[in-house]
Amino acid sequence: MRAVLAIAGTELRRFVRDRSNIFFMLIFPMLLVFVLGLQFGGGADQGRVVITGAGGELRQGLAEELERTGTEVDGVAGAEEMRTEVARERAEVGLYIDAEAESDYASGQPGQIEMIAASGAGAPMVQQRVLTALGTLTGPRAEVAALTQAGVPPQEADAALVGAREAVAPVSLTVTDAGGQTNVFAGLGRFDLEAGSMLLLFVFLSTLSSAVTLIQSRRLGVQARVVVSPVSAGAAIGGQVLGRWVIAFVQGGYIMVASMVLFDVDFGNLAAALVLVAVFGAVATGTAMLLGALIDHEGAATGVSVGLGLVLAALGGLMFPLDLFPETLRTVAHATPHAWGYEAFAELQRHGGGVADIAPQLGVLAAMAAVLIALGAVALRRAVSRAM
């Protein structure tokens, strides 16, 4: 066991000495989670509206209507601060309600308010929500104003409108989801989907990049010295496996902790998520060993690692949600470990599942890991024998 740990430690030190690995392990994943979450995230984040100007019945009623729809509403000191919040995309929509608009609203007259929208993907939805809220507030007043202008006393107009609303059945809307996708992302926060996908992507990529150190150690004769030393072949292979698996697990654990702290990501059952990372990391470990044994040039290994990692990630649903794939492509995607990892995270994050609920995915990933590690071990022993 001491020999296994010593070999694993050596591989880890060689990996850490490459400063580029630090950037791609620690910084780049968080940047992608942040950018993709801002662009495509949805879920619990219902948008933010900032309001400034005169305080009155219109401003209060509009804020209450927006909050009823789940929109975050905040007041700011002035028009300039409101425009700054929108320009920096801290808010999707900004509203300026002056005293004249409040007076017109109170008297039932047409009025104007200033509304500006940010350029983000969620701004049109929030803008439409503001327009709907304004319509809800001003609609009844406009009806009363129309009746009073026609000569109906205000009290009779109010009573007539109340009676009309009671007599007319409200319109009901039934949404039919023909594709079965209406609630597929229900319960996800803005960054949840991207964090799970980027975790799987970078665990695989970072581990595959460790194939370069395996090629270097073989080229420099390190592997040959290990073989002729008083260390069993099993210990030598075990050290290689352990070193690369630790890289994968540390990468996954770091992304989980950083995502939860920085972006309030919910991975569901943490124990089950860590088990998933451990098993998926074993698949990446086997792939890295096989790659490092079959390729003899570091540059070629780097290119193949990045290309293979990105292609498998795209096919496995990490760059475009697997749930939205056509049925045939979704079946093909399950030839990749990424698709099984994606489905496992979906069960944990969206449905509150545990280890038992993702047992089928864990079983498939464990079988893939066993096959890949076995093939990698055989290929590595043959590669070292040729080098000697």
Which positions ≥6 away from 321 have C-beta within 8 Å? 184, 185, 193
- Give the span between the Cα atoms of 286 and 279, in whole angstroms: 11
- Tally of CB atoms within 10 A around 316: 25
Determine contact, residues 339/316, Cβ cutoff 8 Å.
yes
The encoded tokens of residue 58 equal 């219109």
- According to the model, what pLDDT value does residue 44 have? 44
- Give the span between the Cα atoms of 207 and 185, in whole angstroms: 29
Residue linked to tokens 């305080």? 55
Determine contact, residues 336/204, Cβ cutoff 8 Å.
no
The partner residues of 48 in beta bridges, in order of sequence, read 72
Across residues 224-240, what is the average pLDDT? Answer: 62
Nearest C-alpha neighbor of 259 from the set 341, 349, 139: 349
**Of the listed ranges 5-9, 239-243, 264-268, 344-348, the one predicted with least confidence:** 5-9
- According to the model, what pLDDT value does residue 341 have? 96
What would the pLDDT profile of 196-225 be if each residue is shown by its tens digit? 888 999 899 888 887 777 777 766 665 555
Please give the torsion angle defined by the CA atoms of residues 118, 182, 346 and 21, in that order, rounded to the nearest 10 degrees. Answer: -30
At 43, give phi and psi (nearest 5°).
75, -125
**73 secondary structure, DSSP code:** E
Go through the domains of the chain in sequence order and give each one's CATH number.
2-41+190-387 (no CATH), 48-150 (3.40.1710.10)
Residue linked to tokens 């150690």? 217
Which positions ≥6 away from 384 have C-beta within 8 Å? 218, 223, 224, 227
Across residues 114-132, what is the average pLDDT? Answer: 86
Across residues 272-284, what is the average pLDDT? Answer: 95
Among residues of the chain, what percentage have pLDDT more than 90?
Answer: 27
What would the pLDDT profile of 305-314 be if each residue is shown by its tens digit? 889 999 999 9
Nearest C-alpha neighbor of 384 from the set 215, 210, 212: 215
What would the pLDDT profile of 143-178 be if each residue is shown by its tens digit? 767 777 777 787 777 777 777 767 776 666 565 554
- Give the span between the Cα atoms of 91 and 111, in whole angstroms: 24
Across residues 24-30, what is the average pLDDT? Answer: 73
Percentage helix, strand, coil, to 5, in the chain? 70, 5, 25
- Give the span between the Cα atoms of 363 and 355, in whole angstroms: 11
Nearest C-alpha neighbor of 158 from the set 197, 119, 222, 108: 108
Banded pLDDT at 43 (limits 50, 70, 90): very low
Please give the single-letter amino acid code of residue 277.
V
The encoded tokens of residue 265 equal 């990501």
What would the pLDDT profile of 279-311 be if each residue is shown by its tens digit? 999 999 999 888 888 887 878 888 888 899 999
The partner residues of 75 in beta bridges, in order of sequence, read 51
CA distances (Å), origin 100, targets 58, 64, 82: 11, 21, 19
293, burial (CB in 10 Å: exposed 0-12, middle 13-18, buried 19+): buried
- Give the span between the Cα atoms of 215 and 296, in whole angstroms: 6
- According to the model, what pLDDT value does residue 90 have? 83
**Of the listed ranges 44-53, 119-128, 377-386, the one predicted with least confidence:** 377-386
Radius of gyration of the chain measured on its C-alpha atoms:
30
